[in-house]
Amino acid sequence: MKAKTLATVGIVLMVLATLTSCGNTIRGVGQDTANVGRKIARATN
């Protein structure tokens, strides 16, 4: 029973790490998109 519990905790930690990485990537893409929008707005002025 102890091995099953450790395996479950390990899987949960891996899933959380994956979701955190995905969230950081999405946030970074959003920032990049905003920066491009600002640069385009400055170029048109």
The C-alpha atoms of residue 22 and residue 15 are separated, in whole angstroms, by 11
The C-alpha atoms of residue 43 and residue 4 are separated, in whole angstroms, by 59
* pLDDT confidence of residue 1: 64
Question: Residues 37, 39, 43, 45: is their CA dihedral positive or negative?
Answer: positive
Output the pTM of the full model: 0.54
Per-residue pLDDT of the chain in tens (45 residues, 90 and over written 9): 698 899 999 999 998 888 888 878 888 888 888 888 888 888 887
The C-alpha atoms of residue 33 and residue 21 are separated, in whole angstroms, by 19
Tell me 45's DSSP state.
-
